[in-house]
Structure 1
């Protein structure tokens, strides 16, 4: 088998990559392993009461799910037996993108999370659609690279299927009862359409996406805490546990982007409330001149890029607004 060549900046990834992709045994013991070239799927349990699907790294530069899934395997095995459900996991949807630290699939040059309605989508999307069909509940794990991000569930709602909306709202509430993104697919820009979430809604499949910190900001306690939230989310979505708070604050996302290239210095933190025209950071350009970055809306910070070089139009801060 071909082995990845380590890169210093990816050392935390390779621990997970080697574990999942090349080592059979350990926490994967008693899981069925399905391999097809660069596709890996783990499966356990019988679908007596349904099927749960967990996906990760649809975007190759978003790899928090690798760490979370590794920590979750033993508990998910127990949960499968307890609830009488089949659980299927794809930890490396975009393995080629992971190898190159790229958001898109480097082979097809496509963003896999924008191809779900294409006539001839990349092979990974075709396999995902086959796996997702008939699922009782789906969790798609994301993170923002080099970004501090409040734990956030993405709420997908359906005007035609109120039951799907109810299940999804309960699920995001279970994941984080304080805050969630609310996505209206009708209002999305054309370049943002075609996602897994939109496809799930169109096909009446309950499911949410979750956003977390980038891996470099997570310690072992964080991983354990998020893992517990994921277990709770599955139980609530399948009606095996009750959501504690149905009055979750559902927010729309407003994103502040860089007007020029430079080093971004953030002045806000996730979950911080900010006012309209408040200074939220500054950009230091190549000539060392400083440009203040302000928000044109009031709301709550959900994510913020850490201090680093950014390109023009790169996302700096995400703000949740009513």
Structure 2
């Protein structure tokens, strides 16, 4: 499974030693089925699918984990409609108004009746840790989802002080410079997607381009009027394409045919999983190391 989006965190060499305990601590924090009176549960599941019995997938210095959640689908509108219906019946049948305290009790009754019958939705979020570089790579573009996965790791390990990226060079300024001058770091080329905004206000004009040549006067004119680059499509070494945000979240990750053609025919399903994971982690590591150089992303000590 290739990751589609990358939200990144870093951890220190000292923290890396603690990750060797994952195989021992994760079984105590597995996902369990949501109970009839619960809204949701969360825990670790096997990266190998429903039939998998291992909660980690390790290849070299990279270890993949997966967090699953089960949530009951009970929209507030459904609860409120049923509550309103019951309140109206009391008013019509008994000729009185329902007090606030009674409304709260009726709402609790509605929840107790509807919750066990609500559909259950399961969501999965994968991530892996790289010991040598001190990276946590989460397959999501949502900071909230990524932080939720880290919280599960912290709960399982007791402590896991991985931190968000702290660039010493402004991503927005550097990306704007690349487009304005056409001078990109070695190995990088412009893609066909960009988002430009005025940085001083959240309500200013926004320019978005997709499937368009970015090395044009039309695009640079937005920069001359004061806009800055908040997202930009890039290709690295003709091997991986992606959209980089000013928050350094990497979106829409795709490997080019150059990479995919290097995959060999595996002898078994397990060998294929190992090979796919190893290939993905290797290409990610090459990209992340270059981004760490460009934006000066320190690893915690």
TM-score range, shorter chain: under 0.3
TM-score by length of 1: 0.22
Structure (1 or 2) with the greater helix fraction: 2
